[in-house]
Amino acid sequence: MRGSGGSPPCAWILADTGAAWQVPAGGGHNRAMTQPSFSTYGAVDLAALTQRGAQPPSRGASRGATGGLVVDVTEATFQAEVLERSSTVPVVVDFWAEWCAPCKQLSPALERLAEEYAGRFVLAKVDVDASQQLAAAAQIQSIPTVLGVIKGQAVPLFQGALPEAQVRQYVDQLLQVAAANGVTGVAEPADGAGSAGRPAATEPPHDPRYDAAYDAIERGDLDAAAAAYQALLTEAPADEEARLGLAQVDLMRRTEGLDERAARAHAESAPDDVDAALLVADLDVLAGRAEDAFRRLVDVVRRTSGDDRDRARSRLLELFGVVGQDDPRVARARVALASALF
């Protein structure tokens, strides 16, 4: 796992969209890298990591009993601490090692946020030297890398030792995706109270308004999910959760069943096909390449006029909402869009 000369570079998290996250028999990691993504559509299925007959966790393998806000995870504890817990509360997985200097910058920030968010997510720490099978299954090339897990599905987040403010943005967006998928539980510290002796946070009251949309997503009926979110927005136009949910569902509907390779090849061969550019921009956001999507659409806006320009601009604004209005990539793209328009 060490980089050349023992100096670990910044990491990318590797994910095969729509494929089981298998523990490899050995050998290289030749798959393409993806950047952070905040949609569970096409997320990696982690169920294959569960090892039948795994031994119980050894003493000291966790920072407390199951239920703590920060836990050290091994192959033996992965199912309980990550897969099972992620069905009720989002889990953030930090791949690190003792020799990794950037990890020592990032890990304290993640731990502070875990305490600050008071159980809205669980931080699971994986030592890649001690848990090499987990690192191999995640196709880790270098560290630190961080991913989220919701209902057993991996959501790639980011790589490298980012500033705490930027890490907070990624966590906030993960929580939005979790809420859109009905994962709104709150974990408790291992001792049942916060570090300052505060009572543990309790799960917020269930809001039945979103049940129809959540249930439709669960059964794969994206049209029904969109209709449910639209009905909520008709009643309450300022409902941010419904707006975000509708934007994500619309993105999933536009790309459902697509042959990504063919779509990208067509866009490459027909650079003036605006519909092809819009579709590939959607695919880029799903793959976590938001900056690529934004650059593509800004270029379309710059090169076109009339209805084509309006459609590209509208799609770009919609994708801003999917990625998150506070995301620094959105801020940069807004400046580029203004330049293209004026």
Q: Which pLDDT band, with edges at 50, 70 and 90, does 22 fall under?
A: very low
pLDDT at 248: 83
pTM: 0.46
Note the pLDDT tens digit of each residue in 145-158: 898 999 888 888 88
Name the region of 187 (left: φ>0; alpha: ψ -120 to 50; beta: rest): beta
10 catalytic per annotation: no
Query: Which of 15, 44, 71, 103 is labelled catalytic?
Result: 103
Strands (E), the chain: 44-45, 70-72, 91-96, 122-127, 145-150, 153-159
Q: Which pLDDT band, with edges at 50, 70 and 90, does 20 fall under?
A: very low
pLDDT at 214: 82
For residue 62, pLDDT beyond 50: no
**Overall average pLDDT of the 128-152 stretch:** 84
Note the pLDDT tens digit of each residue in 66-96: 447 999 998 888 888 998 899 999 999 999 9
Q: CATH 1.25.40 in the chain, residues?
A: 208-341
Q: CATH 3.40.30.10 in the chain, residues?
A: 4-180
**Overall average pLDDT of the 157-172 stretch:** 88
**Which of 96 and 28 is assigned the larger pLDDT?**
96
CA gap 185, 189 in Å, rounded: 13
Which CATH superfamily groups domain 4-180? Answer: Glutaredoxin (3.40.30.10)
For residue 135, pLDDT beyond 50: yes
For all residues of the chain together, what is the average pLDDT?
Answer: 76
CA gap 297, 295 in Å, rounded: 6
For residue 249, pLDDT beyond 80: yes
Q: Which CATH class is domain 208-341?
A: mainly alpha
The answer to whether the CB of 252 falls within 8 A of the CB of 217 is: no
pLDDT at 58: 32
Query: Which of 91, 100, 114, 340 is labelled catalytic?
Result: 100
CA gap 317, 321 in Å, rounded: 7
Note the pLDDT tens digit of each residue in 197-211: 434 444 456 678 888
